[in-house]
Every structure is written in C-alpha cells, then in structure tokens.
Amino acid sequence: MKHRLEERVLCQSFYSNLCLICVSSVATVSSLRLLVFFVAILPGCFGAEVGSRKKLHDFSGATMGTRYSVRVVADRVSFDLTAVQKKVGRRLGEINRQMSTYDAKSELSRFNHYEGKDWFAVSDDTARVVEFALQVAADSGGAFDPTVGPAVNLWGFGPEKDRELPPAEAELAEALARVGYAKLMVRRDPPALRKSQPDLAVDLSAIAKGFAVDEISKLLEELGFANSMVEIGGEVRTRGNKAEGSPWRIGVEKPDSGGRSLQKVYPLNDRALATSGDYRNFFERDGVRYSHTIDPATARPVQHKLATVSVLADSCMKADALATALLVMGDAAGYDWCVEHKVAALFLIREDASIVERTTPRFEELTGK
C-alpha cells in the first residue's frame, strides 16, 4: 500500500500566547517536503496586533500541487491585503505554467515532448532554474539530477499511475538509459534548453518550489514588506522578524510515518529551510519498503539509514535542491559532503528503534545548536 501525505493547513492554539501552524504537502517527484511547524509567539493565530501599529497578516492557497502560506508584518495603518494576495497568486501561476510537469501545456512539458535536438525557447525563469539544477547536479556528483523523472515515474511516484510491484529489470534499464544530466544543456541569452537525446525529460519538482518561495519573498519585499515568511509545500524562507521583533521560529517534524510530532525548533532569520525525507511516500511489497527517493545512478529507491535531512541556506532554491541531493547520498557520504562544502544541514538517522540527530558545523554555527 502506498502512503501519501495529504494537503492541509491546521491551526491550533495550545495556550494564550502560542500559535502553532502546521503545514504539510504532497510528494514532489524526487523529494518529499515534510510537515513543517511554524511557531509564532503571538496573542492569536491571525491578524495579531502587537503594539500600536505593527500587525501580522496572513493568507494561504493552493499552488503547484500543494499549499502555500504567506505571513507579513505591516507597520502601515491599512493596506489592501486582497491585492497583495492576487499579485502572489499571479506570480505563482506564472511559475506553475513554466515548470509544472502535471500541466501538459507548461513550457517544461512541451520541452519534454519535443524530440528535436535544436535549442528550445523557454522563459528566463525556467532557464535560470535549470542552470542552477545542473550546477547542483555537477557539484553533487549526480546525486541531484533534474532528468531522473523517468525512473521516479516508473516506480509510481510521479504524475503517472501508482504501482504496487517493483518494476522489472528491463524496465529499470530502459528508464536508466533516459537519465543523465549531462544530456541536458541550457543557455540564458536567449533563454533556451537543449537535449542530446530525444526522449530526455526534465523534472524540476525538487527545486521549483524553492525557487517559487524565493520569488514570492522577493515580491513581498518589493511591495514594501521587510518582515515576512513564505512557505510552499514545506519549503520556507523568512525576511526580518516577527511583529514583536523576535526571529521567526521554524520546526522540523519527527520522522514517524504513524504520526506527527515536533523534532526541533530553530530561529530562522533572513534564511531558507528545506527538508526532505523518505517516510511519507512509499510502498511496501514482500516486507521491503520502497521509498520515493530515487538514486539517479541506479534508478532504484535509496536504501540507507537516513530518514530526513534539513538544509539551511541563503536561498530556498538552494536548500530545496541540496536537501534532495543529501537524501540520495545518505547520512555518511552526505555529512562528509556538507562538511567539505560548508553546508548547514541537520540529519535525522535511524539507529535501531531510535532517531539520532547529527548536525554539520555550519548548521551549529548558524543556529547555535
């Protein structure tokens, strides 16, 4: 049976001055963004007044197959929150029309169906995201690969139908022959993509939500909001502080497929956080658990002790992609890679019946923990 994470937003007051907002998301194609807790010390959940002028406003909605949530602190007496939400919705819709693999008319879907080897014109947004994806792919030795979609789909974790049996060896070999980031090229001026193999397909699900978070965060700043928090499907970026001046506090879920509880809470100031894990989207057969996280080198689900990895970075696009790459690498190789590249990461590792935390030096430096 396959386990999928439902889309939902929950708000529950635990006592008079604590508001806990829980946001969960559906699985992306190659990395599942986990339940993230947003802890705000405020008198109430929505529109909390602090002092004589500053006020917290928030709104949410559906996007990119999951949910988004925006919180802004306004020091103006009044402003048109509906107009702000419409601008956010338009920008999210634009990104979805560019990079969605679920929309057959998106420019990425049209490129995937294109069988020529000439340059295929795309938006600058798509070219920019693919360029960064290919850089992460090269830096990670292929642990992150934007062309792994055929293998993910084969295992039933993509836009195509679910499956309850592992694919045959011949199917795996066929999918693996279509994977390889070196077969994909990008240029920025004019923006275009090019493939060296007609059946190559690109999937940006493990990076596009992070990009969208960055873009909405930037949009809010341009609209005059110096203090904000943006979340899409579990990817988070903050600017400034909460209304009373303290940092935004972001929590990571404990890796437990049977329930939901908080593992850790960290202050997040002018940074992004993304978490990838293997326990919300999987299927089991004959006592073997097959995770949605696919190793591009084998076209098979990863098999290691790493349950989740969270990455702190200066951009959500970077945190998003690195979280996926590290989950593919596993706890040992992933930790060593982070130390070498000075990446701030939290690893939650299965050891017998318990979960062991391991943080990189950069993570401890940024969080003080």
For the chain, the domains span 109-195
The CA-CA-CA angle for residues 185, 107, 100, to 5°, reads: 100
- Which residue in the block uniquely carries the two structure tokens 């890796």? 255
Give the separation between CA 222 and CA 140, rounded to whole angstroms: 33
Reply yes or no on whether the pLDDT at 52 is more than 60: no
Give the separation between CA 324 and CA 308, rounded to whole angstroms: 10
Lowest mean pLDDT of 27-31, 54-58, 208-212, name the range.
27-31
Q: How many CB atoms lie within 10 A of CB 305?
A: 15
Chain length of the chain: 369
Lowest mean pLDDT of 32-41, 58-67, 333-342, name the range.
32-41
Reply yes or no on whether the pLDDT at 276 is more than 50: yes
- Which residue in the block uniquely carries the two structure tokens 């934007």? 146
Q: How many CB atoms lie within 10 A of CB 163?
A: 16
Reply yes or no on whether the pLDDT at 242 is more than 80: yes
The CA-CA-CA angle for residues 281, 266, 30, to 5°, reads: 25
Burial class, 248, CB count within 10 angstroms (exposed 0-12 / middle 13-18 / buried 19+)? buried
Q: The whole model's pTM is what?
A: 0.85
Of the pLDDT bands very low, low, confident and very high (cuts 50, 70, 90), residue 36 is very low
**Can you give the chain as a three-state secondary structure string?**
CCECCCCEEEEEEEECCEEEEEEECCECCCCEECCEEEEECCCCCCCCECCCCCEEEEEEEEECCEEEEEEEEECCCCCCHHHHHHHHHHHHHHHHHHHCCCCCCCHHHHHHHCCCCCCEECCHHHHHHHHHHHHHHHHCCCCCCCCCHHHHHHCCCCCCCCCCCCCCHHHHHHHHCCCCHHHEEEEECCEEEEECCCCCCCCCCCCHHHHHHHHHHHHHHHCCCCCEEEEECCEEEEECCCCCCCCEEEEEECCCCCCCCEEEEEEECCCEEEEEECCCCEEEECCEEEECCEECCCCEECCCCEEEEEEEECCHHHHHHHHHHHHHHCHHHHHHHHHHHCCEEEEEEEECCEEEEEECHHHHHHHCC
Reply yes or no on whether the pLDDT at 39 is more than 60: no
pLDDT in tens, 229-239: 999 988 999 99
Of the pLDDT bands very low, low, confident and very high (cuts 50, 70, 90), residue 265 is confident
Give the separation between CA 66 and CA 277, rounded to whole angstroms: 17
Q: Residues 6 or more apart from 348 whose CB is under 8 A from it? A: 252, 254, 255, 263, 277, 306, 307, 308, 309, 355, 356, 357
Of the pLDDT bands very low, low, confident and very high (cuts 50, 70, 90), residue 294 is confident
CB 202 within 8 A of CB 108: yes
Q: What is the pLDDT of residue 355?
A: 87
Q: What is the pLDDT of residue 19?
A: 31
What is the mean predicted confidence (pLDDT) over 199-222? Answer: 96
pLDDT in tens, 146-183: 999 898 888 777 666 666 778 889 999 999 999 999 99
What is the mean predicted confidence (pLDDT) over 46-73? Answer: 79
More confident residue, 247 or 45: 247
Q: What is the pLDDT of residue 291?
A: 66
Segment of 21-25, 125-129, 353-357 carrying the highest mean pLDDT? 125-129
Average pLDDT along the chain: 82
CB 306 within 8 A of CB 196: no
Q: What is the pLDDT of residue 179?
A: 96
What is the mean predicted confidence (pLDDT) over 335-363? Answer: 94
More confident residue, 187 or 30: 187
What is the mean predicted confidence (pLDDT) over 98-103? Answer: 93
The amino acid present at 284, given as its one-letter code, is E
Reply yes or no on whether the pLDDT at 3 is more than 50: no
- Which residue in the block uniquely carries the two structure tokens 């807790």? 37
Q: Which two tokens stand for residue 364?
A: 């401890």
Q: What is the pLDDT of residue 259?
A: 53
Q: Which two tokens stand for residue 174?
A: 């066929």
What is the mean predicted confidence (pLDDT) over 108-124? Answer: 96
The CA-CA-CA angle for residues 115, 188, 326, to 5°, reads: 80
The CA-CA-CA angle for residues 265, 266, 269, to 5°, reads: 145
Specify whether the backbone of 47 is left (phi greater than 0), alpha (psi in -120 to 50) or beta: left
More confident residue, 157 or 125: 125
Of the pLDDT bands very low, low, confident and very high (cuts 50, 70, 90), residue 340 is very high
What is the mean predicted confidence (pLDDT) over 214-224? Answer: 97
Of the pLDDT bands very low, low, confident and very high (cuts 50, 70, 90), residue 185 is very high
Q: What is the pLDDT of residue 281?
A: 53
- For 109-195, CATH gives 1.10.3980.10
Q: How many CB atoms lie within 10 A of CB 47?
A: 11
